[in-house]
Amino acid sequence: MSRLSDSDFDTAPPGRFGAPEKSMDNLPSELDEVAIDWSASLLSSKLGREPEFAVPLASNSSPSNSGESASPGADSPEVDLDVDLTEVVEIPVQGVWAVLHNRNFLRLWAGQVFSQLADKVYLVLMIALITTRFQSADQTVSGWVSAIMVAFTIPAVLFGSVAGVYVDRWPKKTVLVLTNLLRGGLVLVLPTLLWLLAGWGSIGAIPVGFWGLLGVTFCVSTLTQFFAPAEQAAIPLIVERSQLLSANSLYTLTMMVAVVVGFAAGEPLLSLADMLVSGLGITWGRELVLGGCYAIAGLLLLFLKTGENTAALNPDPPQIWQDIRDGLNYLNQQKTVRAALIQLVILFSVFAALAVLVVRMAEILPEIKSSQFGFLLAAGGVGMAIGVFILGHWGDQLTHRQLSLVGAIGMAASLSGLSLFTLYLWPSLLLLCCLGTFAALVGVPMQTTIQAETPEEMRGKIFGLQNNAVNIALSLPLVLAGVAETFLGLPTVLLVLASVVTLGGIFTWYISGSGSSTIESS
């Protein structure tokens, strides 16, 4: 076969053996243009808009068309190569990690951790004080504890809505700091108060010291009614709207962990505190730890920056009943917020009933003792943590309304399945875990909806009403669930709860669907 000579290339038809169809002179500028177009597309996809260059891109006129030789860079697009693209392209951090990058939310969250933990350990401290100071050998502790629970519940019913009215008129940071510091102070004065009242005898066969304990509990609970709506109202002030779901996921997870840790580790923690300070001659180590938790929460919240416009707060004395009516009127007009509130009331009612029913479940399960009902509650807590994790990472794939319906259907299915396996431990644990997961899909999006849909000047009133309704929802099932289980049986009561959840989910789905919601559209 003959070899090709150089002259063969010169005479080759266009497009063969390397003779270009177009002049190679155009190639560098054309490649530049393609590269810049590709870079611009990449920047546009990251920024959500067209990128801005230091020098506008010039249209590239081809030298072959103009018949002029192109000088290097004459018509090529000019880009400021000194631009730091890391300042132009900001890839947002998504999910819970985005919220944790918010320093103000971290301060609020840290305050919540210590405050929530102190709230749960408070009951453990009351039980310890009762058993060491007031309970006699022939008495059960349940009667004393019931009195403490009543003292803690009454302010929630009486002052829940009223506290929200005042929270709307006061700076949220001030409320958060003072309520924690005052609660810590009340706990720290308990040893002195009980010492002073030790020799005062009894009133109505009840020691005066115990009346003092009830009074302190009443005051602590009253301050909590102000703290709760202020905390909920502060979250939308420091968290972007798009991150509210993740923030509430973390908030709910912290609350559930505080319940488990507070009740499970409260007694060992208080005993350890007593042992550590007893060598210093201090006999009130338990009160020091609990009061210290409240105090730490208050000090952490001192550094919180809410960005709230305090000058715009209403300085006039509140018209309490009128303000409460304003809140109720707002709920009547805003179907989305009303539906979310109803869902939360149903959710807390179901969990309050389950708090009673799991004791009965532990009693009839052959593998565990009735005193080990905490394992069943822990399974629900683990499930809720799983649900919170799911919401924090993929919750924005569905609307809040859709998440709520999925959660309600899942809760109903879990409760129905639980009614069939009340005598089997592992299926019961699995179903309780599923119940907690689906409960998170209801609770977190509904709380986020209330925060996002409620104007700043109404949040205190709405969260106060919510706090009031939830506390009532927590109280009634505690009384009714045990009675219903006695007459109807555990499986029947679980099926009734499943029916309530299903009907509530469908009803609120219908209500929220007929109302306007800015968060769903965004």
DSSP class of residue 86 equals H
Q: What is the mean pLDDT of the segment spanning 330-357? A: 87
Q: What is the pLDDT of residues 178-199, one digit of tens each?
A: 999 999 999 999 999 988 988 7
pLDDT value, residue 460: 84
The predicted structure's pLDDT at residue 71: 44
* Residue 314 reports pLDDT greater than 80: no
Class of domain 99-318: mainly alpha
Q: Quick check: 288 and 188 in contact, CB under 8 A?
A: yes
The confidence score (pLDDT) of residue 200 equals 84
DSSP result, 409-422: HHHHHHHHHHHH-T
Spell out the SS3 assignment of 302-335. CCCCCCCCHHHCCCCCCCHHHHHHHHHHHHHHCH
Query: Which 3 state secondary structure label does DSSP give 56?
Result: coil
Give the pLDDT of residue 158. 85
pLDDT(514) > 90: no
**What is the C-alpha R_g of the chain?**
32
Q: Where in the chain is the domain with CATH 1.20.1250.20?
A: 99-318, 319-522
Helices (H) and strands (E) in the chain, counts: 20, 2
At residue 203, the 3 state secondary structure works out as strand
Which pLDDT score, from 0 to 100, does residue 34 have?
A: 46
Lowest mean pLDDT among 125-129, 151-155, 190-194, 317-321: 317-321
Answer for the pair 177, 296: CB distance below 8 angstroms, yes or no. no
Whether 56 shows a pLDDT value over 80: the answer reads: no
Does 82 score more than 70 pLDDT? no
Q: Which pTM value belongs to this model? A: 0.66
Instruction: Report the CATH superfamily, name and number, of domain 319-522.
Output: MFS general substrate transporter like domains (1.20.1250.20)
**Residue 373 tokens, joined:** 């009902």
Spatial separation of the C-alpha atoms in residues 243 and 128, rounded to whole Å: 41
Give pLDDT tens digits for 248-302: 888 877 876 776 677 666 777 888 877 877 777 777 788 888 999 999 999 999 9
Give the pLDDT confidence score for residue 95 in this predicted structure: 63
The structure tokens listed for 458 are: 């109404």
Q: Residues near 216 by Cβ (< 8 Å), separated by ≥ 6?
A: 186, 187, 189, 190, 193
